[in-house]
Structure 1
Amino acid sequence: MSNPEIGRTVSAAGIRTNLHDVGSGAPLLMIHGSGPGVSAWANWRLSLPALSQRARVIAPDMVGFGYSDRPAGHTYSMDSWVAQAVGVLDALEIQRADLVGNSFGGALALALAVRHPQRVRRLVLMGAVGVPFDITPGLDAVWGYEPSFKTMRALLDVFAHNPALATDELAQLRYEASIRPGFHESFSAMFPAPRQRWVDAMCSPAADIRALPHETLVLHGREDRVIPLANSLTLAQWIPNSQLHVFGQCGHWTQIEHAARFNRLVGDFLAEADATLPPRH
């Protein structure tokens, strides 16, 4: 039986990168979060089928996560992750893409838009890191994860507002994912304590965020215990061409807890962007 988490492989900034490349149309790069055992497929499994009906969706495993390479001695940093994301676009010969970033991926998408604005068309930031905040107990627990079923089960209750989603079955699957060979070694190397410094390292400069020209959709779960809602309020205030949607009865898993609404909102936002582009002469 094939593993749905494994897609195709490209070399991106020297990193052998596992990615999913589905659908056709305007390219859409979707960047996952930083939970233990995460992969692009695990993060976006409910979004890939829906959004690929209206776009070419590319969802890579960032270095240190999923089934991309974990080079010995690699220094995990925003610089290396941004370089890899741009490398994915280069490998696929994509000059400009829409970006969706979740949590850690939101910080990465924001940094990419700041550093390479010409490579980004529209921006979607969901429960995003990337602006200053005091690390939450929830995020500290996520980044400080030590593998056990019990710990993973407790983390699911932090991620999801709806307790029906935090099942023993899902906890077992995510726990098993977190102990695949090499997975925890790279994960534990990324965010050692004290962890506030990694929140700070993922921030883009406020002046650069305020100068972003891109149409931006900012999304957040009202009950998010991992990344504070205040982050998205800040982003919506700082980014001139932004709009904010807050999901009620929703934790950190917007794309899972409110999958149909999330997919419709993102799909419509990107389609509206198509419709508002000026005619070419």
Structure 2
Amino acid sequence: MKPPLVLLHGGGPGVDADSNWGGVRSRLSGEFRCLAPDLLGFGTRIAGSAGITGPRAWAAARARQVLDILDDHGLDRVHLVGNSAAGGAAALALASMAPERVDRAVVMGGAGTGPLPAAVPFYDAPTRESMRATLGRLVADEGVHGELLDELTGIRLRQALRPGAEPAFRSMFADVEDGPPPLDLTKIVHPVLALHGECDLVSPVEVSERLVAALPGARLAVVAGAGHWIHVDRPDEFCSLVGEFLSA
């Protein structure tokens, strides 16, 4: 039986699991039983997320969502791959909240542990051009992925303009004083692989370096020539790194 792997997508405007993992899910499915849910606030899960405010509260709510999914599928323990400030933060929150349910975890792009963005992406100018520019910053070289970026722009623009999507997205980056306390990373003892693109324009490599230094069982792999979307820029290397780490 293949080991279960939960793929937790990133947190850009209009994202969903299918568009995030489409290029690598079938390959990972050769080794793992992959589950890829839409996380709260995105895709099919925009409704019902009102009242959650601030990145820590969102990470905790998504961790509880994943626990419910594991229970629904009768899964006691799983591997995680968490992308950036949505999926990566949820993976860390889940490892802290229910350590017995997590085996190994891969987190990408700093897992949301860096500073909040200076401005909320896309929604101050919600146009096709703004979405295309937002997605262009996620890869190392737009020219290599032009056709894919154009396709994703249409998909994610439609989803980002759904009712309720904008207030949910803005609340994910709200700087709040109350809410859940910060995670104590020193208590997350699971084996963790932090992946970071050498050419990441969203989050500098130093964010993952600090994260790995705080996690007792973590190591960092910087992927040469990759931007924030490592799985898009370097899919072969991404799948190899994930497969080898989770199968160790």
TM-score greater than 0.5 by the shorter chain: yes
What is the aligned partner in structure 2 of residue 266 from structure 1? Answer: 242
2:6 to 29, 38, 50: 29
| 1:19-98 correspondence runs (5 A) | 25-68=2-45, 70-71=47-48, 73=50, 75=52, 77-98=58-79
Cα deviations across residues 236-267 of structure 1 (Å, max 9, x unaligned)?
A: 11112111100122211001110110001100
On the 8 A contact 1:110/1:130 being kept in 2, the answer is: no
Q: Aligned pair count?
A: 242
The residue type paired with residue 156 of structure 2 is A
The residue type paired with residue 221 of structure 2 is H
Give the whole-Å Cα distance in 2 for the aligned partners of 1:153 and 1:166: 12
Structure 1 portions without partners, runs of 5+: 1-23, 273-281
2:102 to 120, 141, 163: 120
Cα deviations across residues 193-218 of structure 1 (Å, max 9, x unaligned)?
A: 894627x979842xx21121201111
| 1:1-281 correspondence runs (5 A) | 25-68=2-45, 70-71=47-48, 73=50, 75=52, 77-103=58-84, 104-131=86-113, 133-137=114-118, 140-142=119-121, 144=123, 146-167=125-146, 170-171=149-150, 173-180=152-159, 183-192=161-170, 195=173, 197=175, 204-205=182-183, 208-272=184-248
What is the SS of the residue equivalent to 1:220? Answer: strand
The residue type paired with residue 149 of structure 1 is R
Distance 1:203 1:35, change over 3 A: farther
Give the whole-Å Cα distance in 2 for the aligned partners of 1:72 and 1:220: 29
Q: CA deviation at 1:93?
A: 0.6
Give the whole-Å Cα distance in 1 for the aligned partners of 2:138 and 2:92: 22
On the 8 A contact 1:25/1:55 being kept in 2, the answer is: yes
Distance 1:72 1:95, change over 3 A: closer
What is the SS of the residue equivalent to 1:34? Answer: coil
Give the whole-Å Cα distance in 1 for the aligned partners of 2:49 and 2:10: 22
More strand by share: 1
Give the whole-Å Cα distance in 2 for the aligned partners of 1:193 and 1:116: 25
Q: CA deviation at 1:61?
A: 0.4
Q: CA deviation at 1:41?
A: 1.2
On the 8 A contact 2:46/2:164 being kept in 1, the answer is: no
Distance 1:124 1:82, change over 3 A: same
Structure 2 portions without partners, runs of 5+: none
Q: CA deviation at 1:166?
A: 4.6
Which has the higher mean CA deviation after the structures are superposed, 51-60 or 69-78?
69-78
Identity %: 32
Q: CA RMSD in A?
A: 2.6
